[in-house]
Every structure is written in structure tokens, then in C-alpha cells.
Amino acid sequence: MGIALARIEIWVQSCLEQWINRSLLSKNGYKCFENLQSFYEDYQRAALDFYYSNNQSTDSIGYSRFILTSLTIIRLMHIKLCEDTRFERLKVHAIQIPHLLDLFEYLVLPNRDDMIRARDLYDYFLEFNEKPYPDLLSNIDSQNAFGVHFAEQSIEINENLQKIQEQVEQDRKDKIEEINNAKEKYEELMKKVNDLKCECESNIYYPYRKCDRCTIIKEADNIKVNIYECPIPSERRSALAVMFELQMPNEIRCYRDILWQLVNRPKPNPSNSMDEWLSIRPHQSKLRQYFKGSNNCKVKLVSKTKSITESHYSIARHVISTPLEEYFYENGLQVQISPTKINEFQDEYRTLTPELTDSNYKDLQFSIDNTEFAQNRVIAELSKCSLKLKSAEFVEFGSFRSGHRLQWWNLLSILELDSLSMDEESVVILITHALLQYGPLTKDRKSLICSWCPESHQQLLEDHFVDELIMRLDRHLKDCECNWQNELMLVIITVIVMRVFTICNSTRKDQMTNLVLKCRKTGEKWIQLISKSIQNPSLPDFDKINALRDKIVIIGITYLLTYSIYTDSSNSLVLSNQDVISLLTIATTIHDNNILNKKTVHMSVFMRNLMRYSERVLLSIHPIISKLLQENSYEILNEFCSIHWAVVRTKGVMDGKWKKRNKDIYDGWYDGEYESNKISIDCLRGRFFVNKMTIGFLPDRITSDELFRRVFRQHIFEVQAAESEDSYITKHGYHADGNVYYEFTYDYGYYGNRGLIVYERHIKTNDKFELIPPSCFDEELPNIFVSNYSHWRDINYDQIEFRPICFQDSNFITDKQYILTMEKGHTMTSDLENIQLLINRSSSFFQSLFTRYFIRLDDEPYVYMLRENDIIHIHLSRLGIAFKYNCRNKIITSREYSDMYIDEDQCFGTLTGLKSGLLLSPIAKIKQKNRHYLCRKLIVPFGQVQANKKSGDDHQTVTIERKSSSLSTSFIHQYFVFILNDRLHILQPTDSPTGWLYLALLHAMTSHPLPDQYTGMTGMERSFQLLHSAGCWSDQPYDSITRNILLQIATISPKVNFYPEHLTCMVQIDWNESSLPYSMQHFGYYLIVKKLVETSEDWNFMHPSSTSNDEIQKLFQSKKYNEKLLAKLYWDYRDSYNLTSRVSAQMEKEIRCTSSTKSYEPIWESCYSH
């Protein structure tokens, strides 16, 4: 709507007069006035709805244009009517539009042309406001009224008036004849009555039937005649006024209707309770035939008083009792036209004044309304000053407009002292409104330096004052060159610069033009900086991104304002091709960021109005742009597309075929073709369409895709339509050089059922990569090569790059750890100086080493080997440890323990049956040095220790389950190192208490009734020895991995409970049948673990965050273990345990104290005692 209204206003300003002149010379003549009236009514209705909006959120700049446009139409129509010899009398009749001349002061006019036009209109209506004769809307039946004079001179009107008067005279005669006939009839009936006698009383059979005499009397009494009201005033002056309203020339009627509707703004068609002449008797039947106007005319002939015919006096009257003269009445209607409903002046100037909504400044609204001296009132209102506002700033703000001649001086002071907060929108509103408002006018234009420039802005015509402003503005621009945080500062500076440019003398135009270009350059730089922040955010904070988009929109609007210099009549700067490209870039940036803003946009009224003005600026200069585009065969649009559309950016130059959508010079649509793609550009609104698609975000089916989320996570891409259907390409380039673009498309037949395909395009190198889903490598590559990298296939060189998995990684493009060549099937490191080749998992070499040694530490997907000459680097990715295999001496050394190697003999005389764990021996052993003082190391991964008892007498097999489903992610990387002390013949843990407890668990799970060869004791004995040692006890809560180990130790004890649970007659023991021998499932494991946990939680109040509700806590709270019964069973079996395998003496004492159950005694022994 804003664009449509602006086009109308520009047309009225530039073309209306020529259109009227051309129409008047044609055969239709003043028919154009009817079209102009219809045109104006549509415009006024739309403009008031768009600019005024019921006095809420008004657009002061737009409403000012509406006033100027309306007055321009009225003045041109008035001039043309005055030039007609029939209407020369209009030159001495006033044009009185209530409080119009006072309203000029409050108009908000941003450019010189509007100010010149406003001054011309003011002078014109000031001249006609003082004419001696009444205007067309008042005193229409006065002696000097235009209508009376025109009707008096019109032969046609006089002839028609004569006809009406003759008809009135004839109607009078007819009425007299009607009255006489009625009287004669009455007399005849009364003669009949005299010869008859009343018989009503004698007729007893029909008492309600009237006799003939009474019936005739009743008939005679009912003879009545209606009155007659003259349809036209008897006074000639009023009669001429009525005839003028009926037969006024249509051009006068159109002009007066437009004038009447403007007077009635903002409600151009107010209702009234008056009677219309042509809607009541007898005027409707007598005068309608003489009416020459249309039924839709706005100003009608009305009357406050009712017609006699329509009142209660119009009742028919008896012919005998009514004198003849009482049947005839003069016209009872007043001679008036539809009244005007004038808006209060205070309400209208409020429409032209912005409203302060900030609570800190709201109490100073009175200071922004006008330029009256208000400093004393501001000081008196200091008690209302907000705590967030300094009193000095409160006074400075309220005093800024005190005195219209001082406003520019006050601004100079503010720029020098920074006495107002330029980052507050209320301050921006104050300064902008003060500078753009026209200001008080002087009737004598000769007293001004320039007649069109009011006193409020006369300082700008003084070169030395402008020089001072330029110096301060230039300083502020330098200060905020890179500080894009305060976008309102740029708004203020740009508004000031554009205002000074449009008013200052030609001697300062060059300096001001340089300032305008600096503002434009600063805005462009700010937008680039903010766009980079949005494209590569550290975190996807949507609120912050939306706030940044709002800043881009505000800065972009400010940028567009600088282009108003090309429409200024005093401008000498020529619009270049690069200017047009920059303008299109910013216009599309504003449009795109408005669309991409994920929140509902609540733009302030001030910024909304500024945006509307920027749209008008674009519309105003579009004829220049259109001409420039045609002159260079639309090559500018090709260059713009190669910048804006990522598809062309990745290919280089575009050679599209363009054409303007229609011949209207103010239409901004251009359509083009590039290969098979249809492109459309709206230069006015910044809309860019490819195959009817504009910028947007990726659809949910792409952003929710597993492949997208794996690499790009929650990154928000701004995308455009790509070349193929249902495909998207990022608008911006990414990474360090900004020359990498991503294309997203769907192909439902690609990679099985997967639909998403992601391409990466490099502009400079013309390389193209395709993102490969990790599932393609699950069976081929080690887990770390699959899960820790994103895989990009270089389409040109047919190789796959292994890059960081996260798109936000700063080295996402450059960090290529490995390269997989498709032709040879080799995966190697990207370091050319130190190339390492990945050994295939299915190769015999890999399988030989893995099944012999490394299966003891982790699963196959988590082991990989890299070959570098004669050295094989063996990595266990989950455990984070590595080894080196020397192909010449066949020795595998440890990276973590460089003086140790993997012993070929993995048997060491304890932990029998354990299939996990890797034994390392010192390299010195190979060299036969220090043989008696060597310590070996055992590396054991953490996991769920599981025992599987074979049939027969074989030892149970113990494995460590390390599947991610059974272990927490934080546990999967854990392993323990134990030292084989050959002097003491024990395994020693290195980590307390976790390592001690894990070793106790391993000994317990590998326990056998016979002692171990290495330790000389059973695994259960060694386990209890460790559990009793200080290394397992803690005075603070155990961490999560230790509690997991404790849980595994506790569950070695069989589950015991009574059956049924509420009775104690039967005991149920659930042995772990398939794991350990029954004798190794000690009842004390659970009891000692419970004691360990309770002891560690004695000081729990010092570690409040340590309280947990994990599996071991749930075990203690469950009914799987009846602790009293477990204590009883321990006591029953106590004698079968040797001293090392018993719980501590303190625990046994506690068991005896808490249990009343006696020890079990055999029956035969009891009998023998008797």
C-alpha cells in the first residue's frame, strides 16, 4: 500500500497539471474533473487508513504528503476553474479550510522539493483565505455567494427557475380549483340532508346501522383537501441558490466535493441528521428533474428544519372550516448544504507529532509537540525524572525545541558535548522530528534568505554554520566507523546529513555529498560485519540472531535514505552502475532479514515510518535506475545476480536475458532467464525470486535429517533456490575466505532410502565435494574414522577427505586428517612429509595381531593400525593408548610405557581365566639385564566383568564386556594398569581406591578353590585382602565409576531372601549358577560393600552434590538381598572360610549384635551330646 500511495503522490506532484491541461483540450473537457474526484476519493480513503490509522501509530511523513497532495489537487482544479470565463468570480471568493494555515508549521518534509511546494501552497491558500467573498461551503444563499451570482448570470438557470415558478403558479390554481370542487360537493350533500329525517332511534332491529341522513352527513364531514407547500423559496436569492445547487456545472461540483472531503478529514464523509431536499415531498417530485449532479455527489442540498409537508401540520383539512389561504405554504426548508465536521486542531497536529513510548522520556511529550519555550516547565517537571536518566539530560531533552530558531544551535551543542544518549530511540525521534518538521512560517517571504526555507532552518543557509556541523558530523562518523552496536547513532547522523544536504547552499554541496557517501559506506560496512556474525555464530542463540537481523534492517533503511540525493533538485551526483548494484544488495538484505527473523517483528512506529520513507526514496529514483538498466542492456542485473545468487557466484559470470515486466517507469519488476531458471527481481521491495522461490530457511525434512544434524547440528542456513528442483544453496559463503557454499537436495533413490544429499562448492578452486553418510564405512573402517570425522568426497579427484565432524570448527575446511583414494582404496594421513597408510581390518596381518593381543583390550572397530615404512602404529581409540610394531624385530612396544613391550606369553600365574588384559614386559628383559629386579605391567580395560563357568572341572572363563549399551559413555575410555611385583608375588594397583577395588573384583571373579600359582592364595582370599586394605576405604563419597565396581562386587554374593518374604520358615538362595563356583560366591561381598559405601557417606554433609540415586543405591533399597538373612548365612558358613576370607572382626561383632539367630548345629551332633 505504501508503494501505491507514493506512486500516486509522485504522479500528482509531477504529472497532474499536464494531465489536466491535456484533458481540457480534448473533446471530453471537464470530464476529467469527475475522474479526478473519483481518483482523489480512492486515494484519500487509502491514505487516511494507511497514514492516520485512527490517530494511533500515525505516519507523520506520510500524512504530511497526504496534505500536500490534497492541496495540490485542489489548487490545480481551482486555477483551471478561475481561468474559465464562466467562473472568473472564483478569484474573489475565499478558500477557507479550517486551521490549514496553522497546520503548515507541523508538516514533516524531508526534502527541498517538498519544502518549496509547501511554501507555494501556503502562499496560495493564504491569498485566497483573505478574499472578501464567502467560500463555496458556507453562506450559499448570501448575496455575495458564488452560486447566487452564477445563477443570476446563467440564462439556463433563470429559464428553469421561471419554469418552476410557472409550475408553482399552476399548482396553486389547481389546488384552488380542488378546494372549490370540494366545497361544491359539500354543499350538494348538505342539501340532501335537509330533506331527510334521522331514523336511527326508531330502528330497534338494527341499532348500529346509520340512517341515510347520518351517512350523508358523515360523508360530507370527510371531505378534506391536503395543503400545498411551494417547492422553491419565494425569495429570489434563496431560489437562485437552490437552482445553483441543482444545476451547478459538474466541474464546480467535483471541485467542491473534493474540498469538502478534505475539510472533513480524517472522516471525509461524516453523517448528519438533516433532511435532503431531493428526498422529501414535494421537492423530490418537482425539483428532481432539474438536478444535474450524480447520485454519488458528496455535498447535497439539506435543511435543518423539516418540510411542512413532512410535519404534523401537513394533515388534510376540512374545506368548510379552513380558509383558503391556510392551504398554501411557502417553502419550509432552509437553504443549506451538507455540513462539515472539522477535526480539532490539537488532534490533527498530534497526528503529525511522534509519540514517545519510552517510560524514561514519556513525561517530556509536551516538549516535542512544538517549538514554544518550555524550559521553565521542563525544570518544574524535574521531579518526574526517571532514576535511569540524569537530570541534566532530562533538561537538555526537554529544552531542545524551545525556540524554533535555536534548534540547530542546540543540535550543534549536543554533537559537541554528547549531552544526550544517542543510543536511545526517544532521542532519535526528538532530533529527527525537530529537523524534518517545516516549522513556523512568516507571511512575508521577502524577509527570508530563501523564500521556501522557514526561519527554523535558516542557519543551514549560512556556510560557516554548515562548516561547524560538517566537522562534528565527520568526527562522529569516524568514531563509530567499526562500532556497529549503536545503529541509532548512524540513523541520527544520516538524518542530519541528508537534511543539511537538501537545504544548504551550493557552495557546500560537495562537502555534504562526501558526508552522504561516508554514511553510505559506514552502513554498508556495518551490514557486512553483522552478517558475518550471523553466518558463523558460536552458539545458535536465536534471540541474539534476531536482534542482529533487526540491526541490519535499521542500518539498511538508513543506507537507503542516502539515495534521496539523486531526487534532490540541487544534486549534481550521477547514479552509477555500482550504486545501483549496492542499492539492490541492501534492498534485498533488508527484505531477506525481515523474512528470516524467526520472531514476530514488532518494529517501532518511528522505524516503520522511516522504512516507509526509504521505500518512497527507492520509488522516486526508480525512473533513473530503469533508464540506466536499459542503457547498458540490463548488464547491471547480471552483475547483481552474480553477487546475490550463490549458484551464479559458484560459476562466475552470468549472461541472463532480462526484460522489464511492464512499461510503467515506476514498476520495479524485472524478469530474466538463466539456463532453465526463471529469475524475478523487485527493485522496490528487494524481492529476489528463483523459480518463484525467495530466500528462506531449510525445510524441516532437511534440518531434522540425521546426516544434517550430525555435521551442521543447529546451524541456521539462509538459503536460496538452487538450479535443480527441490534443492537449496546457501546465500552466504562460509569459512575463512567466505568462498565455500553448501547445496542441499533430496534424491530418494540415492544411498538406499536416504534422501538428503549435501554438496560443498568452492568458488576459487571450482572444487565440489559431496557429504558421504558415515553408515557407508561402518563395516570397512575403524570406529574412530567413522564417528570422529565427516566424510567429503572430492568429485573432481575421486577421493574422500576426513574432516572435523562439527561444521562450526574453525578448521573445518583445512583440517584434513586422512585421505581415502577411491581408485586404490588406500586411506592415508594427509601429512605428505610423514605419510601413514591405514591397514585394512580384514587383512591377515591385522587379524593376526588383533586376535592374538589387542582383542584382550577392546573390540575390533576400536582398534586401527597405520603403516609408516617398517613401523606399524597401533591405536586403541576408545582407551586412548597406542603401540608400535617393528616389522624387523617383530616387537610391539608401548607408547605410554616406552621401555616396555607386549609379552608373547600372556600367562602370569594369577587372574586365571581372564581373557582381557595385556601383559607388558620390560625391554631390558630381552637384553637380559637386571633380570631379578624387573616389574611387569598388566593393562586391563574397564567394563562389566562377567564369568562363564564351563562344564566339568575346568576353570571359569572371565571376560570384560565393553559394549556402549552396557557402559556409560564416561566409563568407556577407562582402563587400569597393575604392576606385577615379582618379589612379593602380587598384583599391585596404581589407582586408589578405584584401582584397588577393580583388582579385588578381578580376583574375586577369577577365584578358584585352589590357590593361584603366582600369588600362592586363592582369588577370593586376595580379593578380601584388598577389600580390607586402606586403599579401598574412603572418607568421602565414591565417584560413579567406583560405585559401579562396588555394585559388581556386591552382586557376586548370591541373592538371599525368605520365602515367602513375610515368613521366616524357608530360605531362598539364588546362586549365580553359570559364573563362579558356589564356594567362591562369598556371602560377605555384599556386606563389606555395604559397609564401604556407608563409611564413605559418613561425611556426606560436606559433599552435598555427591548424593546419588544410582544402581548400587537402588540395590541397597531393593528387597533382592535380605541383609539380616545374609548376615546369618555368612555366620553359618563362617567356619568354611579361612581367616583371610572373612569380614573384619568389627563387622563380625556388629553382625552378632544385630542378629539374634543362633549358629547352625548339625542334628547328629546334638543327639550325641545327649
pLDDT of residue 1167: 40
- 3-state secondary structure (DSSP) of residue 487: helix
User: Greatest CA separation found in the chain?
Assistant: 174
Whether 932 is in a domain gets the answer no
Same domain for 1019 and 1140?
Answer: yes
Q: Which positions of the chain have pLDDT values less than 70? A: 53-57, 201-209, 536-540, 598-601, 748-754, 927-934, 951-953, 965-966, 1104-1108, 1154-1170
Same domain for 606 and 724?
Answer: no
CA angle 687/689/692 to nearest 5° reads 130
Whether 1030 is in a domain gets the answer yes
Cα–Cα distance measured from residue 925 to residue 899, given in angstroms and rounded to the nearest whole number? 10
536-567 pLDDT per residue, tens: 655 567 778 888 888 899 999 999 999 988 88
Same domain for 716 and 629?
Answer: no
DSSP state letter for 1073: T
Q: Which residues contact 78 (CB under 8 A, 6 or more apart)?
A: 90, 95, 128, 255
Same domain for 625 and 764?
Answer: no
- Round the average pLDDT of the chain to a whole number and report it: 85
DSSP state letter for 872: E
1054-1073 pLDDT per residue, tens: 999 888 888 888 988 888 87
Same domain for 1024 and 1106?
Answer: yes
β-strand 1067-1070 against 799-804: which pairing, if any? unpaired
Whether 136 is in a domain gets the answer no
- Give the pTM: 0.74
Residue 378 amino acid letter? V
Choose one of 778, 800, 834: the last residue of a domain. Answer: 834
Beta bridge partners of 371: none
Structural domain containing residue 1091:
937-1154
Whether 582 is in a domain gets the answer yes
Choose one of 812, 834, 856: the last residue of a domain. Answer: 834
Same domain for 984 and 1103?
Answer: yes
Take residue 849 and report the three cell numbers written for it: 595381531
Whether 201 is in a domain gets the answer no
Same domain for 629 and 710?
Answer: no
pLDDT of residue 1165: 45
Same domain for 497 and 600?
Answer: yes
Cα 941 to its chain centre, rounded Å, is 52
Whether 663 is in a domain gets the answer no
pLDDT of residue 779: 85
Whether 722 is in a domain gets the answer yes
Number of domains making up the chain: 3
Same domain for 704 and 627?
Answer: no
Same domain for 483 and 600?
Answer: yes
Whether 785 is in a domain gets the answer yes
Same domain for 590 and 730?
Answer: no
User: Cell 543405591 appears where?
Assistant: 1113
Cα–Cα distance measured from residue 624 to residue 1068, given in angstroms and rounded to the nearest whole number? 98
- Give the DSSP letter string of 59-94: -HHHHHHHHHHHHHHHHHHHHHHHHSGGGGGGGGB-
Q: Give the percent of the chain with pLDDT over 90.
A: 26
- Give the DSSP letter string of 1136-1157: GS-GGGSPPHHHHHHHHHH--P
Choose one of 634, 661, 685: the last residue of a domain. Answer: 634
Cα–Cα distance measured from residue 101 to residue 682, given in angstroms and rounded to the nearest whole number? 40
Same domain for 629 and 723?
Answer: no
